Chains A and B, each alone.
Chain A
């Protein structure tokens, strides 16, 4: 007789456990989870002096200088899949009394251009350096092309030059990457 009384109590506890449930939740929402970090990173920088635009050996102006750096992360699948927008910001400070044309040419591993942009920099003086800001927002189709590139060629062209030219052209730059993971 006593043994029978244990049954209801066990039933109560076990049924509490069995009826335990998960309510008012929607796990399909997991598909909507998206991380959207905005990452600020330095890009390139340089300081070119007026001397760099004159070849002392040959006494001839050197109107164009260029350099190349790999940016291998651009064409990695992480960037191709998750990068939604890239904002480039270039900050020039020019104390050379000449205007400059700057060209950024993005190349894929086969050296074919996938994306390019250019700007001009106003002239300054050694006493009064002039800042020029340039920004470029890349998204959509352009971004698809940009993320095929693995390097960038930076070409700096001065309008004219001579051995007495003084001053510096300085570039600082950064990129804001808008990601969606």
Chain B
């Protein structure tokens, strides 16, 4: 139990997250912005990401607790701090990790004015909601909770490790509208999920019952689906595990398909709206699948002794084993190998932006090809929304941003985001185009960098590209 707790704490210490990349969204100077909106405007003619370095993204978060909350130097006992947190958080609080590493990333503007882009990235995604009642039961036991229904349905978690092969097309349809689409093939190495569970555990004092208490498991319907796990369990040694994971990542595991859609629309000369739907798709888990499920009701009152007349040498009645057998029969765990389909967490981005300031690039008043079109300026402000669909419903974030192109070669974007983690999340991104070399770095929760232990979430993206601009 302590180890499980330490694992959770290690997660908070390591990286705490969601999947929002609010700084990068709409930042057209970064080619990988196309993965956040395939219908983004594309200023360059060609880009090629430095392999393994075109985008490194890590994001981790815990909605209800920070490392500092638990491990602060303090005169109070650490156990009472943990206890306070357990009671403060609720079952909607969650721990999450999302990591992406772009292995290959490229794009080019074809003769038909379509910007094609594609690549391969590896992704790790994990979320676990806080099973508050189970935490209370583990932390305090049931003595203070007689008659209370511990909700076992609060257990809700998903995790996966997969490789994504993608290819997309982006086209400026007219002066105002740019649209894009991206197809994806998912190769899942590992996946597990436990969702939509139900059931309660209750210890009740009985006044006229057959024993002092009645322990009841009611409406139990708990299941865990796994894919890829059995192939790792059978692997012998770490090298076999690694080669198994790599093999499953490269079409050797379970496959899925998905699509990203996006569009950008200029309204008049200063306003732009944009939006995207990402990972609209599913993975079909058919091989190395092992599912566990438990369903039913069970009540136990202890062990009834019946004092049978036993002659010498006769075995006694196996009361305890009988109870165990009955438990197995009523609510035991069944292992199944049924295939299952897993929807990818759907992400939605939306933004509205107002451009102002000094005009740069295309769109000058005297540009006869762009009489009614949008003008490009060195500054903009706007609002973004982000949502990711999670087992217990969408997680939402809202962002205000200010963008400024400082010089032709250097742009910045500052963001202020409100999300389930905090109301004081300030992010900053920088993009430098030095010759054909493109570098960007974006991070959020900057106010917490003085002491990361106090941050409930951290997100960081950085990458290097070769980019040839149109101009």
Contacts and interface: CB of A to CB of B under 8 A. Distances in A.
Interface in A35-71: 35-46, 48, 52, 65-71
Contacts of A27: 13, 71
A156 B5 CA distance: 46
A17 B203 CA distance: 51
Contact of B2 (A26, A35, A65): A35
A45 B432 contact: no
B307 A25 contact: no
Interface stretch (A8-16, A115-123, A124-132, A158-166): A8-16
**In which size bucket is the chain B interface?**
35 or more
Contacts of B469: none
Given A24-B451, A70-B321, A72-B320, A38 B6 contact: no
A69 B212 contact: no
Interface stretch (B41-49, B271-279, B379-387, B404-412): B404-412
A14 B451 CA distance: 16
B6 A30 contact: yes
Contacts of B307: 46, 48, 52, 65-67, 156
Nearest to B315: A68
Which one of B77, B78, B142 has the greatest number of beta carbons of chain A within 10 Å?
B78
A14 B446 CA distance: 11
A85 interface: no
Interface SS of B by simple majority: mixed
Interface string B90-121: 00000000000000000000000000000000
A45 B308 contact: no
A9 B67 CA distance: 30
A13 B441 CA distance: 8
B422 interface: no
B449 A45 contact: no
Contact of B308 (A30, A67, A72): A67
B470 to A, nearest CB: 20
A141 interface: no
Interface string B282-307: 00000000000000000011111111
B320 A43 contact: no
B85 to A, nearest CB: 12
A35 B441 contact: no
B68 A24 contact: yes
B434 interface: yes
B453 A22 contact: yes
B71 A45 contact: no
A66 B306 CA distance: 9
B432 A6 contact: yes
Contacts of B449: 16-17, 19-20
Interface in B199-237: 203, 210-215
A29 interface: yes
A156 B307 CA distance: 10
B452 interface: yes
A173 B82 contact: no
B78 A32 contact: yes
B185 interface: no
Nearest to B3: A181
- Most chain B CB atoms below 10 A, which of A22, A43, A65: A22
A181 B1 CA distance: 7
B138 A29 contact: no
Contact of A29 (B78, B144, B146, B212): B78
A70 B319 contact: yes
A174 B303 CA distance: 10
A118 to B, nearest CB: 16
B78 A23 contact: no
A10 B412 CA distance: 10
A37 B137 contact: yes
Contact of B302 (A9, A44, A52): A44
B302 A43 contact: yes
A2 B73 CA distance: 46
B410 A9 contact: yes
A42 B407 contact: no
Contacts of B78: 29-30, 32-33
A173 B302 contact: yes
A171 to B, nearest CB: 8
Nearest to B6: A30
B434 to A, nearest CB: 6
A39 B145 CA distance: 10
Contacts of B319: 69-70
B320 A45 contact: no
B443 A17 contact: yes
B79 interface: yes
A68 B316 contact: yes
A17 to B, nearest CB: 6
Which 9 A-B pairs rank lowest in CB-CB distance, beginning with the nearest? Answer: A42-B302, A37-B141, A20-B449, A38-B141, A38-B143, A25-B71, A45-B211, A46-B305, A68-B316
Given A5-B410, A38-B143, A42-B212, 6 more contacts: A37-B137, A37-B138, A37-B142, A39-B141, A42-B303, A156-B307
7 contacts: A13-B428, A20-B452, A30-B71, A33-B79, A43-B302, A69-B303, A181-B2
